[in-house]
Structure 1
């Protein structure tokens, strides 16, 4: 179980790290995220900046708590990730229900409109965060360093794939005149 916990810490941590970097490091990332919140129509205009800052702070909190060794910090990180993912999922679902077609700015610049696959991605990440909290609560603290390294590497790769999901799905979409 310690290997599963390690892999899940890395997977969830790298997803939130890439989301954080997409909003804070990439030029125009934060502004694009704010615009996507506005276009999604789930946050009143007066609170857009505050909510955007809170999302970035929450993502940083997840990254930091999952990066720090220890059972208590890992539980806090998985708990915060679960709460944020549930809020993100509810916001996307509400926006889609109201006809919003804004690009997903979860990981910075993207031209892919929010859709059902974003809901599925967030629900899967929520399940993985809950599984991470569960394994953290019950995992024995022992394990071989090589096994932990393999689990961490697998988590990092899978997390990067989750973050690149829009681009991966675009590879399998039919070509349109816009994409040529």
Structure 2
């Protein structure tokens, strides 16, 4: 029960943060997709729209899963597939030595790093954990559910912001 709720919270909030950032700065995200140099120019806008739409759908369907738990497993598989695709793109950028920002959670000057890849690996593990835990026969109630959801929210905050925090700390340390 705990693993299931924790996983749904982290995956749902992470994809929500990602989708909102892409919707708020569509042009920046399209530019990021273009900078990855994985697609023909004519496809970058359509692919950026497809990725953002898929993230929104994952969030909406995970929210629906509170009322219809049978929706959750296939949505977690879609979320994991999207994470695999994102990770492949990030690995490609690093392997080719490109220094472009991820735009994973909004505009950022921080270029794609191995942290971004590790973050996606962690998120894949969390999605797998939630999927393996299965839909609980009885959901957590009361304080337990709130605590697990808060732990998931805190984890999401760390996961979605740590790259910028680390980059800022390293940059500041290097300028002293």
TM-score (norm: length of structure 1): 0.89
Match runs of 1:11-50 below 5 Å = 11-25=10-24, 29-50=25-46
Q: Secondary structure at the match of 1:128?
A: helix
* RMSD over equivalenced CA pairs, Å: 1.6
Match runs of 1:114-153 below 5 Å = 114-137=112-135, 139-153=136-150
How far off its partner does 1:141 sit? 2.1
Given the alignment of the two structures, is residue 172 of structure 1 paired with residue 153 of structure 2, yes or no?
Answer: no
Q: Which runs of 4+ in 1 moved over 6 A?
A: none
How far off its partner does 1:135 sit? 1.1
**CA deviation profile, 1:6-46 (whole Å, cap 9, x unmatched):** 11111111110000111113xxx111111111111112211
Counterpart position of 2:106: 108
TM-score (norm: length of structure 2): 0.91
Q: Which runs of 5+ in 2 are unaligned?
A: none
Counterpart position of 2:47: 51
- The count of corresponding residues between Structure 1 and Structure 2 is 173
